[in-house]
Amino acid sequence: MSYPVFAVTVDLVVLTVRDGELNVLLVQRGLKPHLGRWALPGGFVHADEDLTSAARRELGEETGLEGPGGHLEQLGSYGDPGRDPRGRVVTVAYLALLPDLPTPIAGTDAAEAAWKPIGAHGLAFDHDRILADGIERARSKLEYTPLATAFCPPEFTIAALRQVYEAVWGEKIDPRNFHRKATTTPGFIEPTGRSTEGEPGRPARLYRRGDAALLNPPILRRNHDG
């Protein structure tokens, strides 16, 4: 039996919230093709490596951290002929949601790595589309899952959680209604008993993520026809 030969890569859409804004991890390519252009971090899947393991390895190489917290899931595969001038390359994209981390480190084949606000970048390959798909997946998952906590450190305030929603969705949310929603949705968050100190305003109680896999009822965006 004969069949076409492919190369397989993983590419990562790594999202975090910095200063109330949704950011994506990009690398400046240090190799051809698209040398010097910004792209999603990624690389070839090794010969005896699981797809998810490859994604985790790349994530560790690019961020230097895969510690507790955070979230990694498969986003989808992209394999148009001609998407990579080197030949027939199928990429399996993964979506990672991380709490705000120190500055990323450049990988071996990247000249530079940096957090960038989401928006119009002219990324290499078909990475603009992959990024758009990842953002839409994140926006959607915040509605039905407790994944917003993946953007937060292990202990967080309800206000910090609300700011995650506001950053990812790009819309303001009433703090009082969100507080009620977060505290009454079963399994979403659990109180730790501790509170913040030294911050302006009334101290806020600290929570950790709950054990629910789905939010019931969900937290729905106002208007999204997409």
Partner DNA sequence: TCCTTTTCTCGTCACACTGACGATAATCCA
Partner DNA sequence: TGGATTATCGTCAGTGTGACGAGAAAAGGA
H helix or E strand, kind and range, residue 177: helix 175-184
Taking the least distance from each CB to DNA, the nearer of 117 and 218 is 218
Residue 107 CB, nearest distance to a second copy (Å)? 15
User: Do 95 and 137 form a contact (C-beta atoms < 8 A)?
Assistant: yes
Q: Compute the C-alpha angle 73/57/209, nearest 5°.
A: 45
Taking the least distance from each CB to DNA, the nearer of 53 and 192 is 192
Binding site for DNA (CB under 7 A): 157-159, 174-177, 179-181, 183-184, 195, 197-205, 217-220, 222
The option from a second copy, DNA, none interacting with 6 (CB < 5 to 8 A, set by class) reads a second copy
The pattern of x and - marking residues 55 through 94 that bind a second copy according to CB under 8 A reads -------------------x-xxxxxx----x-x-x-x--
Residues 182, 176: Cα–Cα separation, whole Å? 10
Q: Tokens standing for 182?
A: 């977060």
In this chain, which stretch among 40-48, 63-71, 118-126, 149-157 interacts with a second copy, using CB under 8 A? 40-48
Q: Is 132 in the site for a second copy (CB under 8 A)?
A: no
Residues 30, 142: Cα–Cα separation, whole Å? 34
Query: CA-based Rg of the chain, rounded to a whole angstrom?
Result: 19
